[in-house]
Amino acid sequence: MTYDNENIDWQSIGRQFRQQREAVGTPVETVARQLCLVKPQILALEAGLATNFPGAPARLWCAQRYATLLGIDLDAIAPLATASDSPEVAVRNAPTVLDSALSDSESLARTPSSTMGRGHWAVVLLFLALAAVLAIQFYHPSAPVPTQPRPATISEAPSPAAPVAAPAPVAIPVAPIEEPKPEPVRKVVDVQGLEAHKPARSIYVMAHDAAVLIKQRDGRETDTIRLEKGGSERIPMVAGERLRVAEGKNLGIFFQGRKVPANTIEAGNWMRFVPLR
């Protein structure tokens, strides 16, 4: 879907971004590192400002990436954005657009050159001047500094060392073999939903570190879910299923607008999600 850049309510979109980020407790620095952006660009998106972006296409492209990271459907948050029937993005003074199907390097390559301001050209000229100075130094090296030869020294032969007695054998203690401990009894914690209009048969998980989650149904483990660091996933949950975090406790679990407490996740208890009717 394409957008008319003049009709986008950037202030409302920014509030949505900030509220969702604060709800999951993710710092601005972490978001900037995950999106390969800088902190001022994230703050500009949340404030609805156009600063810190080379042009309108780059700003829209960064907003789409930020929405994907937060799990926000940018096409569904009406009236924050107005869809356009035109096959191309209508952006003033921007003859080319960023295609979401392209890679990061290809999209940045298609950004119009007219978005580069005087400050950018000054940086380019400074870089070229520095490269020219380095080239001159490389092709015209300075004369080597003469070094004075050091007088040769004659070292005396070392005297034969006295024989060293062999060390006495050391007894290595053998640790007793420990028997495996039984699996601890885990209790079941009910997580009650807050907002009935949100999906009742799925949960949203955002992993700050690598994590492993296990599903259980009728007393048997049915599925193992692995999340990479910084990854997120929406996991379907049917009636009678339970879920617990086996590894990686630094994550956020959301169900119908409720965030599961950290102590429940760290304890490794089975969680049963009760939807709000």
Work out the pLDDT band at 88, boundaries 50, 70, 90: very low
Return the percentage of the chain with pLDDT > 90, whole number. Answer: 27
The domain boundary, picked from 114, 149, 180, lies at 114
Q: Do 192 and 110 have their domain in common?
A: no
Whether the link from the prior residue into 79 is cis, omega within 30° of 0, is yes
pLDDT at 5: 57
Angle at CA 108, nearest 5°, toward 103 and 109? 95
- For residue 44, pLDDT over 90 is answered with yes
> Which stretch, 139-143, 173-177, 212-216, has highest mean pLDDT?
212-216
pLDDT at 179: 72
Work out the pLDDT band at 159, boundaries 50, 70, 90: low
Which pLDDT tens digit goes with each residue over 212-228?
999 999 878 889 999 99
- 181, part of any domain: no
- 167, part of any domain: no
Q: Do 108 and 192 have their domain in common?
A: no
Domain assignment of residue 197, given as a range: 188-274
Q: How much is the pTM? A: 0.35
pLDDT at 15: 93
Q: The domain spanning residue 24 has which CATH number?
A: 1.10.260.40
Q: The domain spanning residue 224 has which CATH number?
A: 2.60.40
Q: How many CB atoms lie under 10 A from the CB of residue 216? A: 18
- Rounded to a whole number of angstroms, the distance between the first and last alpha carbons of the chain is 34
Residue 212 contacts residue 225 (beta carbons within 8 Å): yes
- 264, part of any domain: yes
- 202, part of any domain: yes
The domain boundary, picked from 65, 88, 114, lies at 114
- 141, part of any domain: no
pLDDT at 93: 32
Q: Do 194 and 102 have their domain in common?
A: no
Work out the pLDDT band at 27, boundaries 50, 70, 90: very high
Could you say which DSSP state residue 114 is in?
G
The domain boundary, picked from 89, 114, 139, lies at 114
Number of structural domains (the chain) is: 2
For 190, the 3-state DSSP assignment is strand
Q: 246: exposed, middle or buried (C-beta count within 10 Å: 0-12, 13-18, 19+)?
A: middle
- 145, part of any domain: no
Work out the pLDDT band at 77, boundaries 50, 70, 90: low
